[in-house]
Structure 1
Amino acid sequence: MAKTPETAKIAKTTLLAGGNPQIAKGEGDASVQAYIAAMPGWKSEVGRRLDTLIVRTVPGVHKAVKWNSPFYGIEGQGWFLSFHCFTNYVKVAFFRGTPLRPAPPVESKSQDTRYIHIHEGGPLDEVQLAAWVKQASELPGEKM
């Protein structure tokens, strides 16, 4: 495969603790795709699946990379979801997760946030995930 400026950037990407890619802050799909491409091993496929599901569920979703994580939101209304790589899983954060039904299973120190953890080879209930994404996108987002 020929090196392009984008693949050269990915090759130089530093992985932080837990294997999270260090990606420059940026707005739009290109920044999120650079993050997903830099996710190590099996996590990159999880990132692609998450991104595809979110875009399919929320047409016109606004994307950005902040704090070395992709963020998804509704422009002018804030962010509703982010994900981040850890050593053994990908953590999906629903910023207003407590009102979601059923609530995502993992609690947070933040009163409103709920998480799901996606492990290598573990099940990913895309129907439930899409329902959470849809519900989350309809709630007021986080201003960050």
Structure 2
Amino acid sequence: MAAKEPRLLSGGNPQIPKGDGDAPVQAYITAMPGWKSRAGKRLDKLIETAVPGVRKAVKWNSPLYGADGTTFFLGLHCFDKYIKVAFFNGGSIQPRPPVESKDPDTRYFHVHEDDEWDEAQLSDWIKQAAALPGWKP
């Protein structure tokens, strides 16, 4: 019997069971629809390169990345037209990621289908975020 495909929630966000480690994150990335899966793989690789040994988990249908054993510094989430990269302590990153949040500590970077990314800038934000105190779920 073939494995059941994950259900896509609002905005095409994959419904993936909570779990720690790389496997649930890869299941999420694989289930991201269309171009978002390719972008998710690229983001995941960039995060792994910027933060060797990064801790991964899926909680609340979003991949989370941490630099220690208890907190997370970054999360991904699919929306209809973009992927939201959430820097949980992004208000302390310089220069700040471009999209504001209702929470003054959190900043976002949105990835759209045809965007050109400044990978050096994104990698710098990731490294800075990993060095800051993380968010504890």
TM-score w.r.t. length of structure 2? 0.96
Unaligned runs of at least 5 residues, structure 2: none
Quick one: which of 7, 11, 14 aligns to 1:14? 7
Letter in 2 for 1:44: S
TM-aligned CA deviation for residue 125 of structure 1: 1.1
CA distance in 1 between counterparts of 2:115 and 2:127 reads 22
Aligned length: 137
Unaligned runs of at least 5 residues, structure 1: none
TM-aligned CA deviation for residue 75 of structure 1: 2.6
2:52 corresponds in structure 1 to 59
- Secondary structure at 2:90's aligned position in 1? coil
**Percent of residue pairs identical:** 63
CA distance in 1 between counterparts of 2:129 and 2:39 reads 20
Quick one: which of 49, 56, 63 aligns to 2:42? 49
> Are 2:103 and 1:110 equivalent residues in the alignment?
yes
Tell me if the contact between 1:77 and 1:140 (Cα under 8 Å) persists in the aligned partners.
no
Within 5 Å, give how 1:1-144 maps onto structure 2: 8-9=3-4, 12-144=5-137
- Secondary structure at 1:93's aligned position in 2? strand
CA distance in 2 between counterparts of 1:89 and 1:111 reads 22
CA distance in 2 between counterparts of 1:117 and 1:61 reads 21
Tell me if the contact between 2:55 and 2:69 (Cα under 8 Å) persists in the aligned partners.
no
TM-aligned CA deviation for residue 77 of structure 1: 4.7
Letter in 2 for 1:129: L
Letter in 2 for 1:98: G
How big is the alpha-carbon RMSD for the aligned residues of Structure 1 and Structure 2?
Answer: 1.2
TM-aligned CA deviation for residue 124 of structure 1: 1.2
TM-aligned CA deviation for residue 76 of structure 1: 2.7
CA distance in 2 between counterparts of 1:21 and 1:76 reads 25
- Secondary structure at 1:50's aligned position in 2? helix
Q: Which runs of 4+ in 1 moved over 2 A?
A: none
